[in-house]
Amino acid sequence: MEPGAVRPGVAGPGAVGPGVAKPGLAKPGVAKPAGAEPGIAKPGGVEPGVAQSGSARDIEDAPVVELRDVSVRFGRARRTVRALQDVSLTVAPGETVGLVGESGSGKSTAARVALGLVAPASGAVSLFGADLGRVRGRRRRALLSGVGVVLQDPVASLDARMSVGECVAEPLRVHRRGMSAAERRARVAEVLELVRLPAELAGRGPRELSGGQRQRVSLARALVLRPRLLVADEPTSALDVSVQRTVLDVIAELQRDLGFACLFVSHDLAVVQQFAQRVVVLRDGRVEEHGPTMTTLLRPRTEYTRRLVAAVPVPDPVVQRRRRGERRASLTAGGTEATA
């Protein structure tokens, strides 16, 4: 981890977006949750993570996070792996951008670059209008305090040796050292209520809670510093479907009320279409295509995106059988062409 980088899960939240008509995805015209539109008002007061240069108007209008032609390589000398290649994306204030692709496409690496946890080999990363590669020390820590993180596995991201209250208060102890113990307890109780958990849970251990409760504790910790950006990396993929719905509803409600932006990483297009205004499709570390969620998933321009959309399961055995037959026919045709 780089010096000054934020610890995963310490500090931020999500959004909602347009629907998509496609088998397994929501149909156009389905009502979106309130606050799903871009341009949500931001909470008043001084916001964490504000760059220390530029006018207030420049800071307000700047993308919350921006990756410009970012490339990342792992390994040494000849044995290197290209994780990202010339990836560019932006997340505007109050906006949710979905980052999708199959396993190994580079989604999580892009999120870690945005968090300052992975340094790019080339390209630039800006956070709240400041070049993340050029800031150090206290200023870097101040910038990163404006980002909240929710990871896939709440069991791994919460310290079992700490109580729920201590887990949620950890970002306050790191970034708000002037707060008294009483003020921290009050803020912890407030943020637990925001994620629909009783304040009494603060005294319990993370392993005493259900999976959905633990993930909401992770969300509470991400919210406790009132961040401007939430990076959510597969936040519901480890949960049961019914619990997923609750967690997503909580994130959507909080984004509407608090106005944060969200970089939402997922392989589940059915979730992304509910949650994102725009989507970026990654393939082998490159941007395959990007655009408004409804347009990209309803009328994909590339064969790769079409295959991703076609792989979304639907609760109809007849449709599923037809789609399996189409996939087998496509694979058979491809094999015939290869041997011709």
Specify whether the backbone of 200 is left (phi greater than 0), alpha (psi in -120 to 50) or beta.
Answer: alpha
Is pLDDT larger for residue 114 or for residue 28? 114
At 331 the pLDDT is 63
The pLDDT of residue 255 is 93
pLDDT single digits (tens) 273-300: 888 999 999 999 999 999 999 999 889 9
> Which is more confident, 29 or 287?
287
pLDDT tops 50 at residue 39: no
Domain ranges for the chain: 56-300
Tell me if residue 236 falls in helix, strand or coil: coil
Amino acid at 316: D
Task: Average the pLDDT over 231-242 and give the result.
Answer: 85
* Model confidence pLDDT, tens digit, residues 299-336: 999 999 998 888 877 666 666 677 667 667 766 765 55
pTM: 0.75
88 has pLDDT over 80:
yes
Sequence-distant (≥ 6) Cβ neighbours of residue 196 within 8 angstroms? 216, 246, 250
Return the number of other C-beta atoms located less than 10 Å from residue 42's C-beta. Answer: 15
Q: Which fold has domain 56-300?
A: Rossmann fold (3.40.50)
Neighbour count for residue 339 (Cβ, 10 Å): 5
Residue-wise pLDDT tens digits, 104-146: 899 999 999 999 999 999 999 999 999 998 999 989 999 999 9
